[in-house]
Structure 1
Amino acid sequence: MDLRRGRRTGVTLSLQEPLEADGQLTLADTLPDEVNMEAGCESRADAARLRALVDALPARERAIMRQRYGFDGAPKTQQQTAQALHISRSYVSRLEKRALEYLRGRWPAE
């Protein structure tokens, strides 16, 4: 039974194993590199910084930003957010605008 299982999995290859006799080209060199690790780290750092700024907002503004921009699920419209918070849509609009101005002012300029 163990012998059959080993036959199905095949040979294990290393990404650093040379593909040519001279050893210049490895398997890792032939695979596409679609993920830019540095950009991913920057994106995660920006997302963490944005979440920290949103968490610093007053409770109602924080709830509006989380709902409107989908922090806790799918983004909601101003009307849906207003209904969930039992306030008017225009008040949601004003608070959202104030929160965005706060975030813009605290976000580092590049």
Structure 2
Amino acid sequence: MKKVRAEVSLYDPIGIDKEGNEISLIDILGTDPELVADLVESSFERRRLLKTINKLSTRERKVLEMRFGLHNNGKKTQREIAKELGISRSYVSRIEKRALTKLIKEFTLENKAK
């Protein structure tokens, strides 16, 4: 409960304007409310993904980071990853599939816990 109390919604009222209307944080950010909400949600999801990726093996994590350009690195093909790691492209594919399956399972478990 303590953690939830500290959370703030972009739509919570933060004051009243000159006409007596409630103002929320989303109103004063100066951009389309849906865009801001999407950016905030995307940022939280990215952090959640990066945290969950740390539960993978070193090799699985490395393959996903290279494949999807995580940590602001460029995306690489399976062939490029295979060459860099000195393994076959099909092995990269199997590692990628196994890692993605683990992530999906982890996210599913987290969502059920909520």
Match of 1:94 in 2: 94
Distance in 2 between the 1:35 and 1:106 partners? 28
Q: Give 1:54 deviation, angstroms.
A: 1.2
Per residue, is there more helix in 1 or in 2? 2
Matches within 5 A, 1:1-110: 33=32, 36-72=35-71, 73-108=73-108, 109=111
TM-score (norm 2): 0.63
Counterpart amino acid of residue 66 in structure 2: Q
- Using structure 1 for the length normalisation, give the TM-score: 0.65
Report how far residue 74 of structure 1 moved: 1.1
User: How far apart in 2 are the matches of 1:76 and 1:55?
Assistant: 20
After the TM superposition, which parts of structure 1 deviate over 4 Å for at least 4 consecutive aligned residues?
none
Quote the RMSD (CA, aligned, Å): 2.8
Q: Could you list the runs of 5+ residues in structure 1 that have no partner in the other structure?
A: 1-17, 19-27
Structure 2 residue matching 1:56: 3-state secondary structure: coil
Alignment length (residue pairs)? 87
Deviations 1:54-98, CA, capped at 9 Å, x for gaps: 122100010000000001411000000011111111110001000
Q: Give secondary structure in 1 for the equivalent of 2:70.
A: coil
CA distance in 1, matches of 2:32, 2:55: 37
